C-alpha cells in the first residue's frame, strides 16, 4: 500500500512539473484528487486493509493528498503570475514614443461652396429649404411646366423608380412644394443632390448638386432678378465682377436667361481659364412662368416672381480652379486636403 501511494505521489508530481498551462494542472487535480481519482480509489479500497492498519493508511493517504494539493496550488499560483507578467510585457506602453496624430478632416469643397452661397442669400433674407431626393414625377416635371413629351423626361436622362416616381433631376420641385403651401411672399433657396442619367466625365456625373432660388411677391420684376444675381456674383467672385444676361429657354420661366460673370482670373480681358472670352457662364434664371404659378395655386395676376438655379460643383470648380469634376467625388484625401 505504501509503495502504491508512493508511486501515485511520484506520478502526480511528475505531471504537475510537466504541465505548461493552468488547464493541464486542472487535469492533474481531477485525475488524482477527483471523485473518481486515483487517491480516492485507494480510500475506497480501505475495506481490504486490516482494521488496525486502517488509521495509518488513512493518514498516509491524507498526507499524500495534502502534498499534491499544496504543490498544485503553488504551481498554479506561479503559472498565473507568469502569464500575467507576460501579458503586461506584451501590452507595455512606451511613453517615450511620439503620439499618434489624430487626422482631423475638414469640409469638402462642395460643402464650402454650398455654405458660401447659403451665407450670401441668407444675408439677403432668404430661407434655406430642403426637399426629398426621391420625388414624384408630378413635382419634378408636371408642376414645373415640363410636359409629358419633353425630352428631359426621357429615360435617357432621368432615373425612374416607377412611372410616377423619379430621382429628382433638379432641386426645382422643392419650389413647387413651397409654392403649393400658399404662404406668401416666398424668398428661399434650396440646395441639394440631384440625379441625371449621365456618363461620368470631366464635367458630368450621374449625381451632382444644385442650389435653386425662388422669390415670389407682389411687383417682383426682372430688375429685381438682375440686382439680386449681381450682388450674388460680386459676393462670390469679388466686387469687380460684372454680370451679363443672355436670353435662353427654360420651361418653368418666361423670360429666361443664362448668366455669365466676368472672368475672375483675367478680369474680362480673356485668358486660358475663360477660353479667351473674358466671361464665364454660371447659372440659369428667369421670371417664374405664369403656368407654374397657377399650377401651384398662386394667382399670376397678383403675384410675380423669379427663380434661378446654379450648379454647386460648377461654383466649386470655378472657385478652386479644379478642371475635373470627378476629383470632387473620388474622395482622395491628398486632393481634398488642399481646400
| Contacts to Zn ion by CB under 5 A | 263, 265-266, 271, 273-274
- Identify which of residues 1 and 271 has a Cβ nearer to Zn ion in the complex: 271
Report the distance separating Cα 80 and Cα 34, nearest Å: 22
Report the distance separating Cα 208 and Cα 196, nearest Å: 8
Count of positions (residues) in the chain: 339
Least distance to Zn ion, CB of residue 324, Å: 19
- Identify which of residues 222 and 273 has a Cβ nearer to Zn ion in the complex: 273
Q: Cell 493518514 maps to which residue?
A: 59
Least distance to Zn ion, CB of residue 233, Å: 15
Least distance to Zn ion, CB of residue 264, Å: 8
Report the distance separating Cα 76 and Cα 21, nearest Å: 9
- Identify which of residues 273 and 339 has a Cβ nearer to Zn ion in the complex: 273
Least distance to Zn ion, CB of residue 328, Å: 22
Report the distance separating Cα 137 and Cα 140, nearest Å: 5
Least distance to Zn ion, CB of residue 270, Å: 6
Report the distance separating Cα 245 and Cα 206, nearest Å: 28
Least distance to Zn ion, CB of residue 248, Å: 22
- Identify which of residues 16 and 283 has a Cβ nearer to Zn ion in the complex: 283
- Per DSSP, what are the bridge partners of residue 210? 192, 311
CB nearest Zn ion: which residue?
263
Buried b (16+ CB within 10 A) or exposed e, 186-220: bbbbbbbebbbeeeeeeeebeebbbbbbbbbeeeb
- Identify which of residues 24 and 265 has a Cβ nearer to Zn ion in the complex: 265
Among 45, 23, 47, 44, residue whose Cα is nearest residue 35: 44
- Identify which of residues 187 and 265 has a Cβ nearer to Zn ion in the complex: 265
Asked whether residue 212 is marked as a ligand-binding residue, the answer is no
Report the distance separating Cα 221 and Cα 187, nearest Å: 14
Q: Which residues are annotated as a binding site?
A: 254
Q: Which residues are annotated as a binding site for Mg(2+)?
A: 254
Amino acid at each position: 500500500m505504501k509503495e502504491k501511494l508512493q508511486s501515485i505521489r511520484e506520478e502526480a508530481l511528475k505531471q504537475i512539473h510537466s504541465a505548461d498551462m493552468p488547464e493541464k494542472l486542472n487535469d492533474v487535480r481531477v485525475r488524482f484528487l477527483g471523485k473518481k481519482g486515483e487517491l480516492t480509489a485507494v480510500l475506497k479500497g480501505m475495506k481490504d486493509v486490516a482494521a488496525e492498519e486502517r488509521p495509518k493508511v488513512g493518514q498516509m493517504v491524507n498526507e499524500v493528498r495534502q502534498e499534491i494539493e499544496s504543490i498544485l496550488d503553488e504551481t498554479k499560483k506561479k503559472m498565473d503570475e507568469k502569464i500575467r507578467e507576460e501579458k503586461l510585457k506584451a501590452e507595455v506602453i512606451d511613453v517615450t514614443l511620439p503620439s499618434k496624430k489624430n487626422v482631423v478632416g475638414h469640409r469638402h469643397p462642395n460643402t464650402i461652396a454650398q455654405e458660401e452661397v447659403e451665407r450670401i442669400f441668407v444675408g439677403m433674407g432668404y430661407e434655406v429649404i430642403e426637399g426629398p431626393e426621391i420625388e414624384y414625377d408630378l413635382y419634378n416635371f408636371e408642376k414645373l411646366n415640363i410636359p409629358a413629351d419633353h425630352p428631359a423626361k426621357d429615360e435617357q436622362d432621368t432615373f425612374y423608380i416607377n412611372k410616377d416616381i423619379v430621382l429628382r433631376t433638379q432641386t426645382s420641385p422643392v419650389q413647387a412644394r413651397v409654392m403649393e403651401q400658399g404662404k406668401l411672399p416666398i424668398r428661399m433657396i434650396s440646395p441639394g443632390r440631384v440625379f441625371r442619367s449621365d456618363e461620368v466625365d470631366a464635367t458630368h456625373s450621374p449625381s451632382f448638386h444644385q442650389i435653386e432660388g425662388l422669390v415670389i411677391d407682389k411687383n417682383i420684376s426682372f430688375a429685381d432678378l438682375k440686382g439680386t444675381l449681381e450682388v450674388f456674383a460680386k459676393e462670390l467672385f469679388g466686387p469687380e465682377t460684372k454680370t451679363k444676361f443672355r436670353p435662353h429657354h427654360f420651361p418653368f420661366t418666361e423670360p429666361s436667361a443664362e448668366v455669365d460673370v466676368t472672368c475672375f482670373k483675367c478680369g474680362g480681358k480673356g485668358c486660358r481659364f475663360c477660353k479667351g472670352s473674358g466671361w464665364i457662364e454660371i447659372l440659369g434664371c428667369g421670371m417664374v412662368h405664369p403656368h407654374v404659378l397657377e399650377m401651384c395655386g398662386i394667382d399670376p395676376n397678383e403675384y410675380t416672381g423669379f427663380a434661378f438655379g446654379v450648379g454647386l460643383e460648377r461654383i466649386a470648380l470655378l472657385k478652386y480652379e479644379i478642371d475635373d469634376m470627378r476629383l470632387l467625388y473620388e474622395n482622395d484625401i491628398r486632393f481634398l486636403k488642399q481646400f
